[in-house]
Amino acid sequence: MKESYWIKHTKCDKHYPKVEQDLYTNIAIVGAGLTGLTTAYYTSKATSEIMIFESDQIGYGASGRNTGKITFQHGLLYHTLIEKYDRIFAKRYYKAQHDAMISIDAIIKEHHIDCEYQKSDAIVYTNDAAKVADIQDEYQAYLDLDIPCEYVRCKDEPTYMEAGLLIKDQAKFNPYAYCLGLSDILDEQQIQIYEHSALRDMKQKDDGYELSINGCIVHANKVVFTCQFPFIDHMHLYFARMRPIQESLCAAKITQKQSNLMIINAEKPMHSANIFEENIVMAGNQHKSGQGTSQQHEDFEKSLYALYPIHEISEEWSNEDYFTFDYLPLIGKLDKHNADLLFASGYNAWGNTTSNMAAKILSAYLLDQYSNYAMLTSPQRTSFFSLPFLKENMNTAVHFIKSKLQKGEFDYPLKKEAKQMEIDGHLYGVYRDEQDELFIVDITCPHMGCICSFNHVDKTWDCPCHGSRFSYTGEVIKGPAGYHLHAIGDDLNTVDPHVTKNRN
């Protein structure tokens, strides 16, 4: 994948070993992004029997690829929560996000983490007169929940807006540098971290779990999945309860001085911007994973030039997150009666604060402590069942069928291009790199058998059904798929959704 602005401009001098022998631990955390590292941080205050396993490098996933906002202003969320649940519930969720923001501030200051942290105001706004009523509804929700804000309007260029809600004293940071800072703290506490150590299988035993990593066995009493998606499902169909959404991101230099604001609009197409010093990171072009087009990305880049005075774009990349149908993340027990198997997912693109909230909930479970916020995010809730849930799963079914009916091309791609090609009666993905080398892989997703599409920004094969991503050489970048894409000449991919319990 292409490196984000944060990863490209942050020096990383420390790397961690990969698993090369059988290991034993009390707690195994799978995923070394913001959630995994912060969960280990809080849990390590009570025990050092923790190991963290990362399939790539620390912070290289969604954690190091977002806009860098730290805010409890999550679009037009709070009016929706009041309408769907009630005011007390919405107030608790606001407090959980507010506490997370304060906790991140405290961690950075206590440990002197160098991550470009600074205070910043945040605003959600609209330029569409038809959306003003939605801004006003959110404003009323803020008043009902005692959320401090300012209702603003501006009829003058270049900051014209029909209506907006401004919240002061939010924050921003370099999320990748923050991940590196957390890993340094854990390393000093002798918490073992392993990179390039992808989980391939897991079996439940009478005395805990056996994790298959790099051909070795890791024995653990408790397992936490903080890798965006739980590796196993146990017939809960979590993959059907969320939709994988990708978005495009760009970074550029600003030619005219702008306020150091964090901005998001209320209408579609969505764009979210973080302006800091002479730079801007902007996100937009949200679409179902594996269903975007290169033209959509080009249109997004053009919108950046139209909205802000910038030089040419210096970096471009994409990110992916899982969105739930009831607007709340899934954090807690994978199985209702088992506190030894936990996961966190469905952050709805607000992972910087939600990861901290999740870490507190997960750590409380691991240490048999009470969490004030666990019931807000229980994976066992049934509020996900809705019309959007039905529509999303119909979309998945349609794309599964369409992908099976696809016919591949017969001409090989040009340099830096990719094609789906019919070879020996089977559909393969073919990418030709700058050195004119061809990479041919079976693009049947090992999760549930959908045919992957090529992501022209990150040069990856992405599943249009449940969001698995693979490099053009076939390696798994992120699940729910647990296996790589086989190269031509090897066996065809084996489909295994890890739905049932694997116990022996």
3-class secondary structure for 449-464?
A: CCECEEECCCCEEECC
Q: Which of 464 and 68 is assigned the larger pLDDT?
A: 68
**Dihedral class, residue 464 (left if φ above 0, else alpha if ψ from -120 to 50, else beta):** alpha
CB 61 within 8 A of CB 228: yes
- Residue 243 CB coordination number (10 Å): 23
For the stretch 355-391, pLDDT in tens is 999 999 999 999 999 998 999 999 988 766 667 777 7
Given this model, what pLDDT does residue 186 score? 98
Given this model, what pLDDT does residue 168 score? 96
Given this model, what pLDDT does residue 158 score? 52
Position 234 confidence tier, pLDDT thresholds 50, 70, 90:
confident
Q: Which two tokens stand for residue 42?
A: 């809080």
Residue 442, pLDDT above cutoff 90: yes
Cα angle 20, 24, 25; round to 5: 120
Position 52 confidence tier, pLDDT thresholds 50, 70, 90:
very high
Mean pLDDT score, 216-228? 96
CA-to-CA dists, residue 331 to 35, 211, 286, 337, 380, angstroms: 11, 21, 23, 14, 10
Please compute, for residue 370, the number of CA atoms within 13 A of its CA located in the half-sphere on the CB side: 1
Residue 312, pLDDT above cutoff 80: yes
The per-residue b/e assignment along 128-149, b for 16 or more CB within 10 angstroms, e otherwise, is: beebbebbebbbebbeebebeb
pLDDT over 70, % of the chain: 96
Point out which residues pair with 320 in neighbouring strands: 246
CB 192 within 8 A of CB 91: no
Q: State how far the Cα of 7 lies from the Cα of 28, in Å rounded to an integer.
A: 26
Given this model, what pLDDT does residue 172 score? 97
Q: Which two tokens stand for residue 259?
A: 């306020």
Given this model, what pLDDT does residue 1 score? 76
The per-residue b/e assignment along 16-43, b for 16 or more CB within 10 angstroms, e otherwise, is: beebeeebebbbbbbbbbbbbbbbbbbb
Mean pLDDT score, 444-453? 88
- Residue 409 CB coordination number (10 Å): 11
Q: Which of 34-43, 281-290, 432-441 has the largest mean confidence? A: 34-43
Mean pLDDT score, 295-319? 88
Q: State how far the Cα of 187 lies from the Cα of 270, in Å rounded to an integer.
A: 39
Position 2 confidence tier, pLDDT thresholds 50, 70, 90:
confident
The residue type of 34 is L
Domains and CATH numbers, the chain: 5-65+176-240+327-385 (3.50.50.60), 116-171+243-323 (3.30.9.10), 389-478 (2.102.10.10)
Q: Which of 409 and 106 is assigned the larger pLDDT?
A: 106
Position 501 confidence tier, pLDDT thresholds 50, 70, 90:
low
Instruction: List the one residue out of 375, 364, 394, 387 whose CA is nearest residue 330.
Output: 375
Average pLDDT over the chain reads: 90
Residue 503, pLDDT above cutoff 50: no
Q: State how far the Cα of 426 lies from the Cα of 488, in Å rounded to an integer.
A: 10
Mean pLDDT score, 116-136? 95
Given this model, what pLDDT does residue 159 score? 62
Mean pLDDT score, 245-262? 89
Q: State how far the Cα of 501 lies from the Cα of 294, in Å rounded to an integer.
A: 39
- Say if residue 109 is exposed, middle or buried (CB neighbours under 10 Å; 0-12, 13-18, 19+): exposed
Q: Which of 113-122, 197-206, 417-426 has the largest mean confidence? A: 113-122
pLDDT over 90, % of the chain: 65
CB 117 within 8 A of CB 177: no
CA-to-CA dists, residue 119 to 58, 71, 173, angstroms: 25, 10, 9
- Say if residue 97 is exposed, middle or buried (CB neighbours under 10 Å; 0-12, 13-18, 19+): buried
For the stretch 235-251, pLDDT in tens is 777 877 888 899 999 99
Residue 181, pLDDT above cutoff 90: yes
Q: State how far the Cα of 268 lies from the Cα of 224, in Å rounded to an integer.
A: 35
Mean pLDDT score, 473-482? 84
Mean pLDDT score, 89-105? 97
Instruction: List the one residue out of 259, 262, 317 whose CA is nearest residue 123.
Output: 262
Residue 214, pLDDT above cutoff 90: yes
HEC readout, 352-393: HHHHHHHHHHHHHHHCCCCCCCHHHCCCCCCCCCCHHHHHHH
Instruction: List the one residue out of 84, 78, 80, 209 whose CA is nearest residue 147.
Output: 78
User: 89-103, 182-196, 234-248: which range is least confident on average?
Assistant: 234-248
